[in-house]
């Protein structure tokens, strides 16, 4: 991801899977990046890279759509 953005990182990321690999997506965000977790195909916990969240001022959001 960093190579695709010339080292800047992605402004926003959407993840429908979750699980341990989500931490890599979070680390690939740019300053003030936004991470949306909108699914849990992998129900294992997401590792949270605390220093990336604090140092880059990231926003992590959860979203779900329930159809009744």
Do 29 and 59 form a contact (C-beta atoms < 8 A)?
no
pLDDT, mean of residues 45-62: 96
- For the whole model, what pTM was predicted? 0.86
* Domain assignment of residue 2, yes or no: no
* Domain assignment of residue 17, yes or no: yes
d(CA 50, CA 56): 10
* Domain assignment of residue 30, yes or no: yes
* Domain assignment of residue 1, yes or no: no
Q: What is the mean pLDDT of the chain?
A: 92
pLDDT at site 36? 96
* Domain assignment of residue 37, yes or no: yes
Query: How does residue 2 score in pLDDT terms, banded at 50, 70 and 90?
Result: confident
- What does the pLDDT look like over 23-42, one tens digit per residue? 999 999 999 999 999 989 99
The CATH number of residue 50's host domain is 3.40.50.720
d(CA 50, CA 64): 24
Do 17 and 42 form a contact (C-beta atoms < 8 A)?
yes
What is the number of domains present in the chain? 1
């Amino acid at each position: 991801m960093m190579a695709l953005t010339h080292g800047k990182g992605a402004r926003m990321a959407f993840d429908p899977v979750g699980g341990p690999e989500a931490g890599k997506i979070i680390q690939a965000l740019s300053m003030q990046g936004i991470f949306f977790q909108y699914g849990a195909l992998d129900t294992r916990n997401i590792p949270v890279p605390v220093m990336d969240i604090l140092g880059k001022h990231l926003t992590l959001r959860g979203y779900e759509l329930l159809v009744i």
